Structure 1
């Protein structure tokens, strides 16, 4: 009986921890042509700009500075450290392309600059040969966080009037949510008033009542919260994958524009919490893992639309209202 219980617990951790950062997205676009607005101004590195002494006059902004920068953070296996941030090629089936490509088609890069964070989006799993060779979830998340923060800080310092929108999916949603939380609690790379909003799709640290839910109600919580009591088991399966639990301070002063989108029964963001023991928790998590790859087509997340369509429409509304 004890062995059976352990099998269920380990199976749950394998399934859900892999899905926390799951970027594999089986939907294929009909075209893999070059993205509009590809390329960008020279010197627009995602590395933070060095601090300089304050001056008495405000320097003129470079001509390339946009009114709005949309920074996208892909999920696991949807990005690489050397990918082109203006024309991502690491994974042509990346879910975030269903959001960024329509925005690039709708706006000139001088008005809306779409930047996709290039990071080593991986998730080590010692149960597979590929997984054993990959970067750990903690290291991958740290790299993505540093690159997202660096890009925001660089553009904010270089372009004093530019405003920002952050969006991410799965592991990218965790990263986007973490940085949004830092911004909202006055500990981030930009001031809260410069953040127009953030969209986290399938966030592994999602909490009911924290941020804004534009879709249907979901009863569960993020897998990094639900599975936190099983951290010791997780360490044996996916070492270097810390289940960080809720975000301290939530989204702070930007909570009214931090959007959490989650499909019912997607165990990355809607993991069951109120179950009696580890075996029941494991069975529930294994049974409810089918909706993570359907956000571009699932009509049951936000009535009358999809998560991708809603996000594009919301971004356009914010831009047009400026």
Structure 2
């Protein structure tokens, strides 16, 4: 079997975005779209493409698990088709659960969380340049990203956001992450 060759369609960096529950927008109106736009402005000299993680993003018990499997499958297939491509993983709210699970941090027990059904293979971990998490539900149960991805992770929880802050009571805080897009892009640009 011969090694796959890179095609003209391979970007230097693919931004995989897992949107929040019921979030509209191509990559996600509150986080995905503004973060991708900020990344395009901040990362120069490299080509970027985006990918919307295809999952229900609803309140069903299997939604986050479906997103978890889909994100891992996308990374595997892109790594095979585009061997030099790197990845930036973006997750907002339930989408953060999807990303958490995909990098081996279980979101089981968190709001709209699920057990891990797939993880990015160890040999592909170095291809993940940055992990950008917004309103991450695992934070409300005292968990965070640890291990190999910790230094590459930007994980923000707005003050009072009940989804990620235990005892938080400001539901509007959960909708405020658009204002953090540039900060996240600056972080990611330093990692690519």
Q: Taking structure 2 as the reference length, what is the TM-score of the superposition? A: 0.79
Match of 1:251 in 2: 146
Q: 2:127 aligns with which of 181, 187, 194?
A: 194
Instruction: Give unmatched runs, 5+ long, in structure 1.
Output: 1-54, 80-86, 124-135, 207-221, 227-245, 273-284, 298-306
Match of 1:101 in 2: 37
Q: Displacement, 1:288?
A: 4.0
| Mapped contact 1:169–1:202 kept (Cα < 8 A) | yes
Match of 1:312 in 2: 185
Match of 2:76 in 1: 153
Q: Displacement, 1:173?
A: 1.0
Match of 1:260 in 2: 155
1:38-187 matched pairs, under 5 angstroms:
55=1, 57-78=2-23, 88=26, 93-104=29-40, 111-123=47-59, 136=60, 138-181=61-104
Q: Displacement, 1:196?
A: 0.9
Q: Displacement, 1:251?
A: 3.2
Q: Displacement, 1:316?
A: 3.1
Mark the structure with the bigger radius of gyration.
1
Write out per-residue CA displacement over residues 57-93 of structure 1, whole angstroms, 9 at most, x where no aligned residue: 53421221121111111101125xxxxxxx828x7x4
Q: Displacement, 1:266?
A: 0.9
Write out per-residue CA displacement over residues 138-166 of structure 1, whole angstroms, 9 at most, x where no aligned residue: 21112211211111111011111111110
Per residue, is there more strand in 1 or in 2? 2
Q: Tell me, what secondary structure is at the counterpart of 1:318?
A: coil
Q: Displacement, 1:94?
A: 4.1
Instruction: Give unmatched runs, 5+ long, in structure 2.
Output: 106-117
1:172-251 matched pairs, under 5 angstroms:
172-181=95-104, 188-190=119-121, 191-206=124-139, 222=140, 225=141, 246=143, 250-251=145-146
| Mapped contact 1:117–1:147 kept (Cα < 8 A) | yes
**In 1, Cα distance between equivalents of 2:42 and 2:159:** 31
Match of 2:173 in 1: 291
Q: Displacement, 1:314?
A: 2.4
> For this pair of structures, how many residues does the alignment match?
177
Write out per-residue CA displacement over residues 8-63 of structure 1, whole angstroms, 9 at most, x where no aligned residue: xxxxxxxxxxxxxxxxxxxxxxxxxxxxxxxxxxxxxxxxxxxxxxx3x5342122
Q: Taking structure 1 as the reference length, what is the TM-score of the superposition? A: 0.49
